[in-house]
Structures are given as structure tokens and as C-alpha cells.
A = this chain, B = another copy of it.
């Protein structure tokens, strides 16, 4: 177990899918699950599922499959979701507000705990228990709340600048919704998630 190959991003992206599936099984009081059945339900190859899981440990029982609760706990641990993950969100436009509201209900231990905006008119506005802060306050708040993850929902032109500020404040992981390519140092993980680009790619399939 626990080889020291760098684990491919594509594997990491599947882990939350497995986790969500397992949590559904828990609710249905199902105690064990085979890679075969998982594969059918998730439209994945069973060998791939076994291989993914075996990177992190021998979680299965031969002849029986995986214990649902145990595996779901393992995955939670691997992803680091066993403790709350505080997030800073920058950009309180429509999308920012929506994500903020959404997160108050949904959230599975990833929690938006600070809101920022560059526009004076937005500062001081309240969403639930959170008040929108100015960008000047970013470094202090990030430090105080030990925030390591940031979400960017500002216009494209402002995105890189905001990213730089987040990175300078010590943020290590960024989820960027602005339609702009963001550059960062190698030790910072940037994930782009841009609706416009996605829609344009999908247009191809029509």
C-alpha cells in the first residue's frame, strides 16, 4: 500500500464520486459492496475502482467486497474531509452569492467562512452570519481563520490579480470560476471551472 508514485489527478477526482455513492449505500443500510456492483452503478470499470482504492490501502476483503462504512470513512480521511475546511470566497456577484447560499445548506465539511469583494458598495453587506470584507483585510482574515482554500468569482479581468492576492496570503488551493486562465506557483493547485467554456465545448456535440 501507499506507494510513492504521485497519484494522478484523475484518480483524486473520482474519490468524491465513490464517497458520495458509499454514503448513499450507508443510508440504505447496505453493509458491503463489490467493485463489480459499484462499477455498474457508477458506470466505471470495476478494475479501475479496485486499482484506485488499492493506491491508498487494502480496503477490501477477498470474496466479499468492501465494507461500506469502513471504506467511506477511509475515503473521508484520504480527502481530508474529516475536519472542516475553511474557504474564502472572493467576488460577491450573482455567482458568488449563489455559491455562498448554496454552501450554507449543502456543504460537506467544506465551508465558506469569509467573503471578499473589491467593490466598496459590496463591503459590509451580510449573507447569513458572514459580512463582506474588503480585499485589504484578506491577508489578516486568511491568517486568523487558517484558510487554505479560495474560490474566485470575480470578472475575468480581475481574476489573476485576485489569485495573486490569495496566493500571497498563503492560500494553497484555488477554485476559479472566472473565464480566465490563472497562473500560480507549482505548490499552488488551481482548478478552473468556467461555465462559459463548458457551454462552448458542449455546443460542439450538437
- Confirm or deny: A202 has a beta carbon within 8 angstroms of a beta carbon on chain B: yes
Please, how many angstroms separate the alpha-carbon atoms of A53 and B75 in the complex? 40
Q: Are A102 and B195 interface neighbours, CB within 8 A? A: yes
Say how many copies of this protein the assembly contains: 2
- Confirm or deny: A173 has a beta carbon within 8 angstroms of a beta carbon on chain B: yes
Beta-carbon contacts under 8 Å, A175-206 to B: 175, 179, 181, 183, 189, 191, 193, 195-206
A41–chain B nearest beta-carbon distance, Å: 8
A14–chain B nearest beta-carbon distance, Å: 8
Q: Indicate which residue in B16, B79, B107, B202 contacts A173 across the interface (CB closer than 8 Å).
A: B202
Beta-carbon contacts under 8 Å, A133-152 to B: 148-149
A73–chain B nearest beta-carbon distance, Å: 15
Q: Are B202 and A191 interface neighbours, CB within 8 A? A: yes
- Confirm or deny: A108 has a beta carbon within 8 angstroms of a beta carbon on chain B: yes
Q: Are A200 and B98 interface neighbours, CB within 8 A? A: no
How many residues of chain A have a CB within 8 Å of chain B? 51
Beta-carbon contacts under 8 Å, A1-52 to B: 12-13, 15-17, 19-20, 42-43
Interface string of A97-136 (1 = CB under 8 A from B): 1110110001111100000000000000000000000000
Please, how many angstroms separate the alpha-carbon atoms of A114 and B70 in the complex? 45
- Beyond known contacts A15-B200, A20-B179: 12 more, CB 8 A cutoff: A15-B204, A20-B197, A79-B203, A81-B200, A94-B102, A106-B196, A108-B196, A108-B200, A149-B199, A149-B202, A172-B206, A193-B193
Seen from chain A, the residues whose Cβ lies within 8 Å of a Cβ on chain B are 12-13, 15-17, 19-20, 42-43, 78-81, 85, 87, 93-95, 97-99, 101-102, 106-110, 148-149, 172-173, 175, 179, 181, 183, 189, 191, 193, 195-206
